[in-house]
């Protein structure tokens, strides 16, 4: 393990949380988008909420072999984004607005399944995680600087 291992782990988490914040921002920006993509029939579908999925950073055979050979507890590998997937857990919202250009024959418009309140809570969580990782990087940096001062 190198002396920069903790910084590498925090850096991977910073990158992942930044992508999570970007995805949440995209969800908020498209909360009213009724024409996001075309389906097979040529009809417009509303924007569907996106979610970021994390997984451990290094999942190759070499990493698992090193962990198996190590006699002590396994060290952290960091985190990475495995995919950005659409959230199909909630259906599109229906709103009665017969004057809307995307209203169906009954006057209902399909709106995205984005809840701005939920997105803001997720954004706050991602921001706090980002801040925690910055604190970790700063603590590691301070410890390394103090270790360098020992040799003076």
DSSP conformational letter for 10: H
- Reply yes or no on whether the pLDDT at 55 is more than 60: yes
Nearest to 29 by CA among 8, 12, 50: 50
Q: How far apart are CA 29 and CA 96, in angstroms?
A: 22
Condensed to tens digits (0 to 9), the pLDDT of residues 24-43 reads: 999 999 999 998 888 888 88
Residue 82, C-beta contacts closer than 8 angstroms, at least 6 positions apart: 53, 54, 55
**Using alpha carbons only, what angle is made at residue 146 by residues 79 and 143, rounded to the nearest 5 degrees?**
20
More confident residue, 38 or 60: 38
Residue identified by tokens 């970021």 is 52
| Mean predicted lDDT score pLDDT of the chain | 87
Sequential DSSP letters for 56-122:
ES--SHHHHHHHHH-SSPPPP--EEEEEEEE--SSPPEEEE-TTSTT--TTSEEEE-S--HHHHHHH
Condensed to tens digits (0 to 9), the pLDDT of residues 75-132 reads: 567 888 999 999 998 899 999 999 999 899 999 999 999 999 999 999 999 999 999 9
Instruction: State the pTM of this model.
Output: 0.81
How many CA atoms lie less than 13 Å away from 45 in the CB half-sphere? 12
Residue 123, C-beta contacts closer than 8 angstroms, at least 6 positions apart: 21, 24, 25, 28
- Reply yes or no on whether the pLDDT at 71 is more than 60: no
Q: Report whether 94 contacts 111 (CB < 8 A).
A: yes
């Amino acid at each position: 393990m190198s002396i920069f291992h903790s910084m590498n782990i925090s850096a991977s988490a910073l990158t992942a949380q930044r992508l999570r914040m970007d995805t949440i921002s995209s969800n908020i920006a498209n909360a009213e988008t009724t024409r996001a993509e075309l389906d097979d029939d040529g009809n417009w579908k509303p924007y569907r909420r996106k979610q970021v999925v994390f997984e451990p950073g290094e999942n190759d055979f070499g990493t698992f072999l090193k962990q198996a050979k190590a006699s002590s507890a396994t060290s952290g590998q960091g985190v990475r984004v495995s995919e950005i997937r659409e959230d199909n857990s909630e259906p599109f919202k229906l709103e009665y607005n017969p004057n809307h250009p995307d209203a169906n024959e009954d006057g209902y418009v399909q709106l995205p399944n984005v809840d701005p309140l939920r997105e803001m809570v997720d954004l706050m969580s991602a921001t706090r995680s980002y801040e925690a990782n910055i604190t970790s990087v700063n603590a590691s940096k301070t410890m390394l600087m103090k270790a360098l001062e020992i040799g003076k």
